[in-house]
Structure 1
Amino acid sequence: MSQAVGNTALAYARVWHHVDASDRILGKLAERIALVLMGKHKPIYDPSVDCGDYVIVTNARSVKVTGRKEEQVLFRKHSMFPGGLKETPYSDMMRKNPDEVIRHAVSGMLPKNKLRERRLERLKVFPSYNMGVLGGNILRSWDDGTLPPDWDPRVPTTTMTLKQNWRFPVTDKKADA
């Protein structure tokens, strides 16, 4: 007799989430992304099982930090040779490689175990609103669970088209009555 109850394959199915990072605080954004990558929002969460979802982050160039972190934060990497320490200020990193800033913050929020790299592979970060072909994986509006009325998988999806398509007209019930 099977021990599985219900549709377990459906419970482990991965969903694509879209996050617009415009004017969001980096730490709070990274924390929420890490929870989704780990799968803690699902009732089947187990720390030893990789059951998280995909996350697409757009507008990484316009993420904000609080306090004086913009002047104080340094990103460090070392080549493992003597004198091989490279330090990059936050402002330079945001100008050159804004997706790496979010990736580094989310990496720090994930548990330090063997699942960390696999979870980070499911994080897709884009510096502007255009998310390319991957935007076709974001299928539905989480407000009411429906597809946009003019959804076409061949049309590239961007943050702007998602905002336009997911604003459904609200009918006034008093006017209809």
Structure 2
Amino acid sequence: MNKAFYLRKEDRNPQWRVMDAQGQSLGRLAVQVANALRGKDQAMYTPHTDSGDYVVVINASAIVLTGNKWDQKEYISHSGYLGNRKVLTAKQVFEKDPTAIIIKAVKLMLPKNTLNKQILKKLKVYAGAEHKHLAQVGSSTGLVA
């Protein structure tokens, strides 16, 4: 009888990936990043463990939203107090911090459990082409579209 495979901590070998957001659609990029963070594109994927890679997203300021989403897409936050509902459009969030849109999109694609924070720590997003993870990534030849 075959035994089920469970990924152990010592079997885990996370790699570093660089993904370029230049001219890419927000949703399509977020799906690729979320799958890489979870490890769903690897043969040793185990849903209840953190088996994914580190992901560095560059050129976040050049992300593309189709249609009128810059003005129509809303990000809603609430503190819990009466009347403290805040609604910001994608354009307002982007002007404040270009990386926040990508982080929020990826965060909502990750599982809503205890692994969420742990997996999200492996995501590094930068507005420009420069990043400080060259030692881990090596050269920029590992770009994934």
- TM-score of Structure 1 vs Structure 2, range by shorter chain: 0.7 to 0.9
- Contact residue 22 and residue 59 of structure 1 kept, 8 A: yes
Superposition pairs of residues 2-151 of structure 1, within 5 angstroms? 11-132=11-132, 134-139=133-138
SS of the aligned residue for 1:77 comes to strand
Shift of 1:10: 7.3
Cα separation, partners in 2 of 1:76 and 1:44, compared to 1, 3 Å: same
1:52 Cα deviation after fit? 0.7
CA contact (8 A) 1:77 1:87 kept: yes
Secondary structure of 1:46 counterpart: coil
Give how far 1:65 is off.
Answer: 1.1
Question: What letter matches 1:40 in structure 2?
Answer: K
**Alignment partners' CA distance in 2, 1:130 and 1:84:** 37
**Which has the greater radius of gyration?**
1
Q: Which runs of 5+ in 1 are unaligned?
A: 141-161, 167-177
What fraction of aligned residue pairs are identical, expressed as a percent? 32
Which stretch has the larger CA shift, 29-38 or 79-88?
Answer: 79-88
Which amino acid in structure 2 is aligned with residue 138 of structure 1?
Answer: V
**CA RMSD after TM alignment:** 2.2
Normalized per residue, which structure has more strand?
A: 2
Give the letter aligned to residue 53 of structure 1. Answer: D
**Alpha-carbon separation, structure 1, partners of 2:86 and 2:134:** 35
**Structure 1-normalised TM-score?**
0.72
Moved over 3 A (4+): 8-11
1:68, CA displacement in angstroms?
Answer: 1.7
* TM-score normalized by the length of structure 2: 0.86
